Chain A
Amino acid sequence: MVDATHGGMGTIPAAEVPDVELYHPHSWIEKYVFSQDAKYIAIQYSITALAIGLVALVLSWLIRLQLGFPGVFTFIDADHYYQFITMHGMIMVIYLLTALFLGGFGNYLIPLMIGARDMVFPFVNMLSYWVYLLAVLVLAASFFMPGGPTGAGWTLYPPQAILSGTPGQQWGIILMLISLIIFIIGFTMGGLNYVVTVLQARARGMTLMRMPLTVWGIFTATILALLAFPALLVANIMMLFDKLLGTSFFMPAIVELGQQMSYRGGSPILFQHLFWFFGHPEVYIVALPAFGIVSDLIATHARRNIFGYRMMVWAIVAIAALSFVVWAHHMYVSGMNPNFGFFFATTTLIIAIPTAIKVYNWILTLWRGNIHLNVPMLFALGFIVTFVNGGLSGLFLGNVVVDVPLSDTMFVVAHFHMVMGVAPIMVIFGAIYHWYPKITGRMMDEGLGKFHFWVTFLGAYLIYFPMHYLGLLGVPRRYHDLGTTDFIPPNVATLNEFITVMALIVGFAQMVFLYNLFTSVWKGKLAGGNPWRATTLEWQTPQTPPAHGNFGKDLPVVYRWAYDYSVPGAKEDFIPQNQPPSAATA
């Protein structure tokens, strides 16, 4: 074990872990395309995720145009509408959020933050990206196949997902299932790497309880993903068999449009259990890295140690463990045995406790801090507001009987967009503004960044907060057109128009972000190695951007936790993790 350094600094033995032999690229292609350097792989992951995420963004505009102005954009017929919502949801959850947090931030930050030269299996790591890219291409290909992409909803519930009443049932659903299977294979390669790297390749002195919370979040989320994705994998394989070979894993006896089908004895509910056994941990696969990263953003920019670090770590671990016993709260009205409701409502509301502790500790870190309201901090604040809002509406949906009227309404749409759409994306933006100077050596434009923040934060809040009330009124989700419905008053249309206009404005702000992101590569102010005066190891590299191998000739030795900000008596208001005890107070 590398953990031999637990017992205090004085007893660190001489380097017992030999330095890693790095793979050195021999050509331009090996350096920039088939790179085995986790930092390049991270950038490849991130650019690919953002590119396919742009598709999801455009789809969201089309969805909102239809909801805000039904009948005006006639090319958005019901088929297209259901295809758009399906692809928007799946891209955002899997191909953008999961890939960006784990493949993007995980790859970039894990080796740098724990003081490693690279991931422990660089070749597999490279393969992980190319397999992910293939999954994205297969998914994108379904737009161009006969019948178009699947319109089964991102949850892909059988039987309708593979029957002819659903758009994209020829090729779309098949490519969706195959793409997910490929994604899971690719993710597993990367995920094993992240876990083993954290466990085996930490620098001397970097005990587990000294790791930055960013690493804790990504590490725990990766373990979750490695345990949860297999459930989705088997569900996808079985559904593919049902579709292609006529098996009946999820297909009971069915009469489709007057015709008796040959399926017998399958269980649609079984698919839902498998899907949500993956799907609920998936929420935390996205949320835990966000929790970790935002903790570090807040600590760094409030110049204050994260409050209650140990509680923060245990809260991450507790949330991760609990996230495997709450999945059926997505199924309160699915027709499963209703007695499940007692159990799953209880576990679900219990998970609110460690989650609340995290929120308290974030805001208690601000308290008595020295808060720099720069762009990463603003996004961190935006995260807390939207996450608390979305988390609290989860207490409605998690409490089984309260969920009954609200399930399948716009309340659910508002809730999950707030809590696992807006909130983690706030963190992604904050993290990009925060680590951009390390990745490129230059700062992103502060003015454009603030514009981006305010429009995105306030706009997204104005989109999703009122949307809860549409659901409370009873407006169902996944409706191409509300038509005339007695209980829906005309002012619902007015609110829908407003939400659509806000969505377009927020979408425009993302173009400003992309402009800032790309032009700052050469136009941004030079950043220097540690522009935020942060403690963690990635800011202590000899070069910026860090070179292959990250840390020059000698790996750093870690003497302290990641949160020595504003230590009384210290020369500066931060002490890097690799600064020896004597040097800090001299």
Chain B
Amino acid sequence: MKTAIILVIVAVGSVLFHLLSPWWWTPIASNWAYIDHTISLTFWITGAVFVAVVLFMAYCIFRFHHTPDRQAAYEPENKKLEAWLTVATAIGVAAMLAPGLFVWGQFVTVPKGATELEIVGQQWQWSYRLPGKDGKLATTYTSLISPENPLGINPSDPAGRDDLVVEGGEVHLPLGKPVKMLLRSVDVLHDFYVPEFRAKMDIIPDMVTYFWITPTRTGTFDVLCAELCGVGHHIMRGKVVIDNETDYRAWLEQQKTFAELTTPIRKAEGETAPLPAAQ
């Protein structure tokens, strides 16, 4: 009896905790509300199964606990019942999987016209690169990385001169425009993680990974690293600011281009190609 009551408390208590506890997801700031909906749906289905199983156990313990004159039933199998349960489970699983795969289809399909933002992780800070006026990011090579060229931008790629480089600071994104995040690492695995965006992706050295979002509200959000990257993993922080169009333009104006950042060195190396004027 006591055991049955405790199991009922476990089932009911879990549901109450779910409904009443103050710990819940952060208010979303991207287009991935679909993910939240799929999580909610999954909570309902799995929660119902959990409560049903635990309450059924409590009932069995209450009803069939040992007494001197009790004899257990002898029933090796019940094909019909097992078949029904299998089918019901398959339906429940499909009800979660189908919307999940549907949303995943959107997740892996970057909308045409998404602007690009390159995010570079290194132990233990974030840097960013945005395409300049030409709308194109230059090629990069890990072997080109040096103190003067921390992102390894190819200096002979003409698309690179107007690339905007943001080192170690905060990055801004415009509200309502889809952005494709191109993720690159200098050293080890990292993961660009902004809880309010819901989306995240690991970053792998010498390779480009990606995900996309459309920011849906303005504000300043914490950037964390979500893939263990060494002893400074937990201090690898940054900020991402979602701006309206005007504020975003203003921020963009202040950023330095690759050409501006490297002019002195390029002159020293005897480069003579004329550089575009700073914005």
Measuring CB to CB, which residues of chain A are less than 8 angstroms from any residue of chain B?
Answer: 78-79, 82, 151-153, 157, 159-160, 163, 165-167, 252-258, 260, 268-269, 302-305, 307-311, 333-335, 338-339, 341-342, 345-346, 349-350, 352-353, 356-357, 359-361, 363-364, 366-373, 378, 381, 384-385, 388-389, 392-393, 395-396, 399-402, 404-409, 458, 461, 465-466, 469-470, 472-474, 476, 478-483, 485-487, 489, 491-492, 495, 563, 565-568, 573
Convert B57-73 into 0s and 1s, putting 1 for each residue whose CB lies closer than 8 angstroms to a CB of A: 10011001111001111
Q: Is B216 part of the contact surface with A, judged by Cβ < 8 Å?
A: no
Known contacts: A346-B97, A363-B60. The answer to whether A159 contacts B189 by CB under 8 A is yes
Other 13 A-B pairs with CB < 8 A, given A305-B75, A405-B198, A487-B221: A163-B188, A255-B142, A345-B101, A352-B93, A360-B82, A366-B60, A373-B3, A385-B54, A402-B38, A461-B10, A472-B39, A491-B22, A565-B72
Is the CB–CB distance between A495 and B23 below 8 Å?
A: yes
Interface residues of B in 141-159 (CB under 8 A from A): 141-143, 145, 147, 152
Within 8 A of A (CB), among B176-203: 183, 186-189, 191, 193, 195-196, 198-203
- A353–B90 touching, CB < 8 Å: yes
Task: Name A392's closest neighbour in chain B (CB-CB).
Answer: B46
Cβ B53 vs Cβ A384 within 8 A = yes
Q: How far is the CA of A405 from the CA of B86 in the complex (A)?
A: 30
Q: Can you list 18 A-B pairs, Cβ within 8 angstroms, ordered by A?
A: A78-B234, A79-B231, A160-B187, A254-B187, A341-B104, A353-B89, A371-B61, A373-B3, A395-B46, A404-B107, A404-B198, A408-B227, A469-B17, A472-B25, A478-B234, A492-B23, A495-B23, A566-B73
Residues of chain A contacted by B10 (CB below 8 angstroms): 385, 458, 461
* Contact in complex: B21, A309 (CB < 8 Å): no
Interface contact A252-B207, CB-CB below 8 Å: yes
Given A253-B142, A334-B202, A407-B200, verify A385-B231 contact (CB < 8 Å): no
Asked whether A255 lies within 8 Å of B66 as measured between CB atoms, the reply is no
Asked if A335 meets B201 with Cβ closer than 8 Å, knowing A402-B39, A491-B22, the reply is yes
B270 within 8 A of A: no
In the complex, chain B residues whose CB is within 8 Å of the CB of A369 = 60, 64, 72-73
A341 to B232, CA, bound (A): 30
Which of B42, B67, B205, B235 sits near A268, CB closer than 8 Å?
A: B205
**Is B38's CB under 8 angstroms from A363's CB?**
no
**Smallest Cβ-Cβ distance to A372: which chain B residue:** B66
Using A308-B78, A345-B101 as known contacts, say yes or no to A370 and B93 having CB atoms under 8 A apart: no
Question: CB-CB < 8 A to A385: which residues of B?
Answer: 7, 10, 54, 57
Residue among B42, B81, B104, B183 with most chain A CB within 10 A: B104
Smallest beta-carbon distance A500→chain B, Å: 16
Most chain A CB within a 10 A radius of its CB, from B32, B101, B183, B196: B101
| In the complex, chain A residues whose CB is within 8 Å of the CB of B228 | 82, 152-153, 157, 160, 478
Alpha-carbon distance A385/B61, docked complex (angstroms): 13
In order of increasing CB-CB distance, the 10 nearest A-B pairs are A474-B195, A165-B230, A252-B206, A335-B209, A392-B46, A160-B188, A469-B23, A399-B100, A368-B73, A408-B226
Smallest distance from the beta carbon of A534 to chain B beta carbons, Å?
A: 14
Q: Which residues of B from 22 to 59 have beta carbons under 8 Å from A?
A: 22-26, 32, 34-35, 38-39, 42, 45-47, 49-50, 53-54, 56-57
Docked-complex contact B76 and A356, CB < 8 angstroms: no
B residues in contact (CB < 8 Å) with A: 3, 6-7, 10, 14, 17-18, 21-26, 32, 34-35, 38-39, 42, 45-47, 49-50, 53-54, 56-57, 60-61, 64-67, 70-78, 81-82, 85-86, 89-90, 93, 96-97, 100-101, 103-105, 107-108, 122-124, 141-143, 145, 147, 152, 183, 186-189, 191, 193, 195-196, 198-207, 209, 220-222, 224-235, 237
Known contacts A405-B195, A568-B74; decide if A333 and B202 are in contact (CB<8 Å): yes
Q: How far is the CB of B134 from the nearest CB of chain A, in Å?
A: 27
A352, A367, A405, A567 — most chain B CB neighbours (10 Å): A405
Asked whether, in the complex, the Cβ of B82 is within 8 Å of the Cβ of A308, the reply is: yes
